[in-house]
Amino acid sequence: MLNRNDSDYVYRAMCKFRKSLLMTEMLLFGVILLGPLLPTAAAEPLADQAAESQQALPTKSQDPAVDAQGANATIDLDGTVHLPPVSIPFSSLASEEAKKNFLDFVHGFASLSGGEGKDINARRKRLDDLLMRPGVEKLRAVFPVAIKPEKICGVQTDVIEPAGGIAKKNRRRVLINLHGGGFEVAAGLGGQMESIPIAALGAIKVISVDYREGPEYRFPAASEDVAAVYKELLKSYTAKNIGIYGCSAGGMLTAESVAWFQAHQLPPPGAVGMFGAGALVDKFGDSAYISSALMGSPMPSKHPSDMKKTSPYFSADDLDLQDPLVAPVYSPSTLAKFPPSLLISGTRDGLLSPVVYTHAQLVKAGVKADLHVWEGTPHCSYAQPVVDPNTPETREAWDVIVKFFDQNLGK
């Protein structure tokens, strides 16, 4: 019996349209070629039959294991796919530790559903108490570090240094971390979660920035905070020796910060990392739907990317979500000035598509850009409070991050 991974099941479900789609294309091709030669009465039924066929394209797979799971699938003229109920096993290419971490991820975040409602402070506290604080403690037990709260130009930060000291080659280098959390939560502990393994494994100083978030603040407050910290660090470090990275919202903010630096005549950092996010905020692509299925979550609405309604930080009426300062991916001239960029995601990450799209646009713009996608891993799995340091995929991601900055920052 063949082993199957995440992409195999998604691909097979989509391929259930292939036979009917080919038949429809042949029928349409025949109408185009023969239409002028056929009597009108003969041509019209063929065209009608082709149109009806494209409105709903049922198919039957040659794989009984696929067909046994549900009814036929259909596809609309606008490209919308209607899939039957399917059962998708965990990827055979991922490790057993990754499977356990996936289950911990799903169950861990399910435990957050409380009665806080719209009380953002209650939500933040519940997340910190139930997941973030225990997660940080688990990481600190594996990676000895010193954490020192420090205000830099009025912005709260945590300075994380390896207990064994900073490596000689990194004494003139520093990393800035921008935590995830949807521009609403995870300040403080979230940044520590993303910084502790990198500081320890890389023997480098990491400064995690507690930038201003929604709903209290609106764009571009976070970009302004990152720029303030960056400008201060430029007094002690050359730009090429500063790296910036973040997960999820922090990945988006990393891209926004680079664009902000350009607009305010600040030199670009030596390298950046956008993890579990791309350089855009308004479109999520295929992965928003595929990930929902692979994570056992309800499917999003037909257009799940209305950030002005879902994210208070981007809710200003006059904000253009395709402004290069918000979404640099839409500006080739902005992207062309990006430093070497590392993009990371997983096959079960809802933001995989923006990551892949951003990588493609960076490469098109002539930027050195690396893309790594781990099989079976959810959204920012290597930086979540349920992270397991013993998961091979997590260790690989951390190693890739450390090596990337080591190779691309100045000496």
In this predicted model, what pLDDT tens digit does every residue of 30-45 receive, in sequence order?
A: 333 334 333 333 334 4
- Using the predicted structure, report yes or no on whether residue 15 has a pLDDT greater than 70: no
* 87-104 per-position pLDDT tens digit: 889 999 999 999 998 998
Q: What is the average per-residue pLDDT within 272-276?
A: 98
pLDDT at 299 (0 to 100): 77
Give the residue with greater pLDDT, 403 vs 83. Answer: 403
pLDDT at 110 (0 to 100): 73
Helix axes 352-364, 287-294, angle to 10 degrees: 140
Q: What is the average per-residue pLDDT within 264-288?
A: 96
Beta-bridged to residue 207, according to DSSP, are: 159, 176
Q: What is the average per-residue pLDDT within 284-304?
A: 81
- Using the predicted structure, report yes or no on whether residue 393 has a pLDDT greater than 90: yes
How many residues would you count in the chain?
Answer: 411
Q: Which CATH superfamily is domain 108-408 in?
A: Alpha/Beta hydrolase fold, catalytic domain (3.40.50.1820)
pLDDT band at 306 (very low <50, low <70, confident <90, very high): confident
Mean pLDDT, the chain, whole residue set? 85
Q: What is the average per-residue pLDDT within 244-267?
A: 98
Q: What is the average per-residue pLDDT within 184-191?
A: 97
pLDDT at 139 (0 to 100): 97
Q: What is the average per-residue pLDDT within 199-220?
A: 98
High-pLDDT (> 90) share of the chain, %: 68
pLDDT at 4 (0 to 100): 54
pLDDT at 250 (0 to 100): 98
The CA distance from 187 to 313, in Å, is 15
Asked if residue 7 lies in contact with residue 347, where contact means CB atoms within 8 angstroms, the answer is yes
pLDDT at 305 (0 to 100): 56
- Using the predicted structure, report yes or no on whether residue 262 has a pLDDT greater than 70: yes
pLDDT at 266 (0 to 100): 98
Q: What is the average per-residue pLDDT within 344-358?
A: 97
Q: What is the average per-residue pLDDT within 243-263?
A: 98
Q: What is the average per-residue pLDDT within 62-80?
A: 66
Backbone angles phi, psi at 82, to 5 degrees: -110, 110
Q: Give the contacts of 145 (CB within 8 A, at least 6 positions apart).
A: 160, 161, 162, 163, 196, 199, 200
Please give the model's pTM, rounded to 2 decimal places.
Answer: 0.83
Residue-range domain boundaries for the chain: 6-82, 108-408
pLDDT at 405 (0 to 100): 98
pLDDT at 12 (0 to 100): 56
